[in-house]
């Protein structure tokens, strides 16, 4: 006959705490309508300045170069700029510069970095190692044709075509969606972010795309926010501070934060339950302590995010801001305008080839950090996990990293649009630091107009 095990005080206390965590998680979850789980918000962040940027040559290899000191400082500044948004997951490409840029955000949010194939930069193929300044005559022409002229069948010699590029990013976002993440921050590359967005955002006109390339090509650690899902498509919400279309309502943002809180509290409750299953007092006490700390921090993050959102809502009602509705709604800053180069918009030549700007869009500098809020980074270590991307129909098999499948090549052909015949200017950005050829930037063809010179 088995002798009953007498109840232990630590078991009773732990059981009460575990039940409380589960109950609270379920209570929060019940307050969220089912429709909230169908909409996914993705905040893309371009990596900080890399050693490749400083070299002035196109480098799209994997894992690629590290961050410069400036790039590391920019990575820390991302927390001050975006940390208060309380993302529910952190993703990075297979290239080391994005993972290093994601580190401070991972530490601040107490979330691991998920390395996800499909988010890497557009491979340069035969243009690998060539000067960024020459991208407008080769590498940069192809993604421009994909995004502006719809010529997705064109293949970068020795690399991928537009369909393969689009499919692999779609596959990565499908993985994010299937993981249940609905408010993730994704660290990627300038060319990948800009051209995928322009190829998929249903609310962008050709004129707006040209205007963004002319006046707002992504600099290091700039961001782009899209909303939608892999089934219904995507729309652009915010391009590094420029708002497009209807903005998420206060109610929608609070529901999104509630969902994030519910998932995080549920995860901590599961950790405690798993510890109880071991019947090991040390493991149970350790799980209770750790889960209590993380649950408290989750509540703090939630409160901060909601408070910031309410303050933003009140400020908007006092001083209404106007969203971008046309390509001419915004102009470059005086500092950027001082360094602009007049170029012609892509157009058909007598041979039918698309001509591209004399400096490819996406020229940018590794600007010094420009904090927009005052969050601080704690000392919690970041962890990294690797996830396999879900294959997409027609996409390149990238499960082993940053592999491109060579094939037939072609030249961009046809006019972008009959009514888009204006001259545009490509701003090289402000604070261009020079250091023996270092523009301090991911410049033309480098994480900008179709590539990542790192």
Instruction: Give the helix/strand (H/E) hosting 212.
Output: helix 206-215
Which residue among the candidates 47, 123, 132, 364 is catalytic per the annotation? 47
> What are the residue ranges of helices labelled H in 45-184?
51-55, 69-82, 96-109, 141-149, 162-178
- Give yes or no for a contact between 184 and 43, defined as CB atoms under 8 angstroms apart: yes
Cα–Cα dist 79/312, whole Å:
18
Residues 437 and 53: their CA atoms lie apart, in Å, by: 10
Query: Taking a C-beta distance cutoff of 8 angstroms, is the pair 21, 268 a contact?
Result: yes
- 225 HSE (CA, 13 A, CB side): 19
**121 in catalytic set:** yes
47 catalytic? Reply is yes
Residue 46: helix, strand or coil by DSSP?
A: strand
Report whether 79 contacts 104 (CB < 8 A): yes
Q: Are 385 and 112 in contact (CB under 8 A)?
A: yes
240, two tokens: 């590094």
How many Cα atoms are found within 13 Å in the side-chain-facing hemisphere of 302? 19
Burial 30-39, CB ≥16 within 10 A → b, else e: eebeeeeeeb
Residues near 336 by beta carbon (within 8 Å), at least 6 away in sequence:
215, 427, 428, 429, 430
Tell me the C-alpha distance between 56 and 49, whole Å.
Answer: 12
Nearest Cα residue to 104 out of 80, 75, 84, 82:
75
Measured distance CA(211)–CA(222) in Å, rounded: 16
Is residue 68 within 8 A of residue 46, CB to CB? The reply is: no
**Quick one: tokens of 411?**
């030249």
Strand partners, 302: none
* Distance, CA of 174 to CA of 196 (rounded, Å): 14
Q: Which helix (H) or strand (E) holds 340?
A: strand 340-344
CA distance 197 to 235: 8
What are the DSSP E strand ranges found in 116-221?
183-188
Asked, as a colleague might, if the bond just before 357 is cis with ω within 30 of 0, I would say: no
**Could you say which of 107, 121, 132, 454 is catalytic?**
121
Are 55 and 197 within 8 A, CB to CB? no
Known catalytic residues are 47, 121
């Amino acid at each position: 006959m088995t002798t009953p095990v007498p109840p232990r005080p630590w078991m009773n206390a732990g059981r009460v705490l575990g039940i409380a965590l589960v109950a609270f998680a379920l209570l929060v979850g019940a307050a969220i309508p089912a429709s909230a789980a169908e909409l996914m918000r993705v905040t893309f962040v371009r990596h900080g300045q890399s050693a490749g940027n400083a070299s002035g040559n196109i480098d799209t290899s994997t894992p690629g170069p590290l961050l410069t000191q400036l790039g590391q400082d920019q990575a820390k500044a991302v927390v001050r700029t975006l940390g208060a948004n309380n993302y529910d997951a952190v993703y990075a490409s297979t290239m080391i510069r994005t993972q290093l840029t994601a580190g401070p955000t991972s530490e601040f949010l107490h979330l691991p970095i998920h390395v996800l194939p499909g988010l890497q930069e557009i491979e340069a193929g035969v243009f690998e190692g060539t000067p960024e300044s020459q991208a407008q005559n080769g590498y940069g022409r192809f993604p421009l044709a994909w995004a502006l002229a719809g010529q997705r069948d064109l293949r970068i010699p020795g690399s991928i075509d537009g369909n393969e590029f689009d499919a692999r990013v779609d596959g990565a976002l499908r993985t994010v969606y299937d993981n249940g993440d609905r408010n993730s921050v994704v660290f990627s590359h300038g060319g990948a972010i800009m051209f995928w967005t322009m190829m998929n955002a249903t609310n962008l006109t050709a004129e707006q795309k040209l205007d963004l390339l002319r006046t707002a090509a992504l600099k290091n650690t700039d961001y782009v926010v899209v909303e939608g899902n892999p089934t219904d498509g995507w729309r652009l919400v915010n391009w590094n501070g420029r708002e497009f279309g209807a903005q998420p309502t206060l109610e929608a943002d609070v529901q999104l934060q509630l969902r994030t809180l519910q998932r995080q509290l549920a995860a901590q409750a599961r950790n405690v339950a798993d510890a109880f299953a071991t019947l090991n007092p040390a493991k149970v006490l350790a799980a209770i302590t750790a889960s209590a700390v993380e649950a408290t921090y989750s509540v703090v993050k939630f409160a901060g995010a909601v408070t910031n959102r309410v303050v933003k809502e009140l400020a908007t009602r006092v001083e209404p801001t106007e969203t971008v509705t046309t390509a001419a709604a915004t102009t470059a800053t005086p500092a950027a305008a001082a360094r602009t180069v007049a170029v012609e918009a892509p157009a058909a030549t007598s041979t039918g080839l698309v001509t591209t700007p004399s400096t490819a869009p996406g020229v940018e500098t590794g600007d010094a950090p420009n904090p927009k809020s005052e969050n601080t980074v704690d000392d919690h270590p970041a962890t990294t996990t690797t996830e396999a991307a879900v294959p997409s129909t027609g996409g390149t098999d990238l499960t082993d990293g940053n592999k491109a499948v060579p094939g037939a090549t072609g030249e961009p052909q046809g006019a972008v649009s009959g009514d888009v015949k204006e001259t545009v200017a490509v701003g090289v950005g402000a604070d261009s630091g020079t250091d023996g050829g270092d523009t301090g930037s991911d410049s033309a063809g480098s994480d900008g107009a179709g590539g990542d010179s790192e």
